[in-house]
Amino acid sequence: MHFKPFTHIGAALAAALASTSAASTPAMAADAALRPDQAAFRALYKEMVETDTSITTGSCTLLADRIEQHLRAAGFRDEELHRFAVPEFPKEGGIVAILPGTSKTAKPILLLGHLDVVVARREDWTRDPYTLIEENGYFYGRGTADMKAMDAIWTDMLIRFRKAGEKPRRTIKLALTCGEETATAFNGAKWLTENRRDLIDAEFALNEGGGGRTDKALEAGGKVVVQNIHVGEKTPVDFRIEATNRGGHSSIPVKDNAIYDLANALQKIAAYEFPLMMTDTTRAYFGKSGAARSDAMGKAMVAIAANPQDRAAEALLNTDRTFHSMLRTTCVATLLDGGHASNALPQRAGANVNCRIFPGVPAEDVRKTLEQVIDNPAMTVTRTSFRGPDAVPPPLDPKITGPAEKLVRKYYPGVPLVPVMSPGATDGVFLEAVGIPSYGPPGLFSDPEGSGAHGLNERISTKAVYTARDLLTDLVRAYAF
């Protein structure tokens, strides 16, 4: 995933809830005394983490091969397993597995996961990134959190259902794809929506993005204080802002200068504030989260949920960078280039502006807004990235949130479930574009400082993994059986 969406959002809410609500540590057997089914799951998880699936040195296809072997051993038949890849990207293949349901009318549910991980260099890590290491209550390794824990949970779940002969009412589909972490890779989720929609067609999907946060690190006595369900995300889009000029000798400068034009344009973009917007999800997030706080920020959160036109509340919320981003489209300069020689006037100067576009807003509208803000007909604004379609906000559906709330109460007593919209991006955007709402369920959790996903020494709590496995199994049962 391009941005782990709740590292700050969950931490901010966790800090508030730590002092205002009862919190608990999830119950489970001690790690040293795993049940046989947990031990089998751990072995699968270990195999997934230890199969390098990075874009440079790894292979999603190899891991899909190994997953297929496990599914076949559990009794999945040829017609229930579907492999996919394209010749140009032979190492970026994926797999779809189908557990047929008994109902002829109930639409399937889809379990989605990406197998690829961000590149990790051994010399930078404390431990070997492609070895699953269990240490002091944590699993360490690339992909332990993003997102092979959930991949293993989904796969293990279907294996157990099939081995036990369980027959769900709804068909359960599992799609494990590649290409989520790298824009230049073969994106399996995108390909499936465009080429094999029949394989993944579902009433809704469960994907990454949800989960909870502790109030502090577990080794410091931290407790889980919030669980999130991910409902919607922004669209990430890059625009190239460029100024051009005839150039000339630097000894005879002129006012018409490409670098100055670019600088002026970027100052205007920096000063511009996109208008406040809300979805049902963000309204619920601010209302529920704010009600758990007793400070001025909490009151502002409740106020903005009740009245999005409350400018005083908005002004205070804008002082928090995450709340600010959740309330609008944002655009920020991230790369800069210009000129061609130290003794020449610049002929060209440009910048990359990365926008995170609020759900429901077309990217072309944002491009036109940037043109208007710059207000210089000599400059161009060109979209340069097409990671995915414009984000479509899924509904905040009680049929989805209700069972999740019930199970959070069971596994995390006293901990609230709060819906949240991600300022980042997942492959769910491809599903939503073709009418399959995507949700990130609760279950997993991490410390306030995050899991190290995309960074060094990625880790996740062993309790988080085993508890989420049980919670998510019960959740899929609630939806499908």
Rounded-to-integer distance, Cα 426 and Cα 447, Å: 21
The predicted structure's pLDDT at residue 32:
60
The predicted structure's pLDDT at residue 1:
53
The predicted structure's pLDDT at residue 454:
87
Q: Where are the beta strands (DSSP E) in 55-131?
A: 81-84, 94-99, 109-114
Name the residue type at position 40: A
Ramachandran angles phi, psi of 27, nearest 5°: -85, 135
Burial zone of 364 (CB within 10 Å; 0-12 exposed, 13-18 middle, 19+ buried):
exposed
Distances (CA, A) of 433 to 83, 209, 224: 23, 17, 34
The predicted structure's pLDDT at residue 26:
40
Rounded-to-integer distance, Cα 60 and Cα 55, Å: 9
Rounded-to-integer distance, Cα 408 and Cα 413, Å: 7
The pTM of the full predicted model, rounded to 2 decimals, is 0.89
Rounded-to-integer distance, Cα 116 and Cα 247, Å: 45
The CA-based angle 243-372-236, given to 5 degrees, is: 80
Q: Could you list the pLDDT tens digit for every one of the 481 residues in the chain?
A: 544 444 445 545 544 554 444 444 443 434 468 999 999 999 999 999 999 999 999 999 999 999 999 999 999 999 999 999 999 999 999 999 999 999 999 999 999 999 999 999 999 999 999 999 999 999 999 999 999 999 999 999 999 999 999 999 999 999 999 999 988 899 999 999 999 999 999 999 999 999 999 999 888 889 999 999 999 999 999 999 999 999 999 999 988 999 999 999 999 999 999 999 999 999 999 999 999 899 999 999 999 999 999 999 999 999 999 999 999 999 999 999 999 999 999 999 999 999 999 999 999 999 999 999 999 998 999 999 888 898 898 999 999 999 999 999 999 999 999 999 988 789 999 999 999 999 999 999 999 888 888 899 999 999 999 999 999 999 999 999 9
What's domain 9-233+392-480's superfamily in CATH? Zn peptidases (3.40.630.10)
Q: How many CB atoms lie within 10 A of CB 126?
A: 10
The predicted structure's pLDDT at residue 7:
43
Ramachandran angles phi, psi of 388, nearest 5°: -170, 180
Structure tokens belonging to residue 332: 């920020």
Place of tokens 């019930």: 406
The predicted structure's pLDDT at residue 449:
81
Report residue 126 CA to chain centroid gap.
26
CATH code reported for the domain at 235-383: 3.30.70.360
The predicted structure's pLDDT at residue 28:
41
The predicted structure's pLDDT at residue 363:
95
Any idea where the domains of the chain sit in the sequence?
9-233+392-480, 235-383
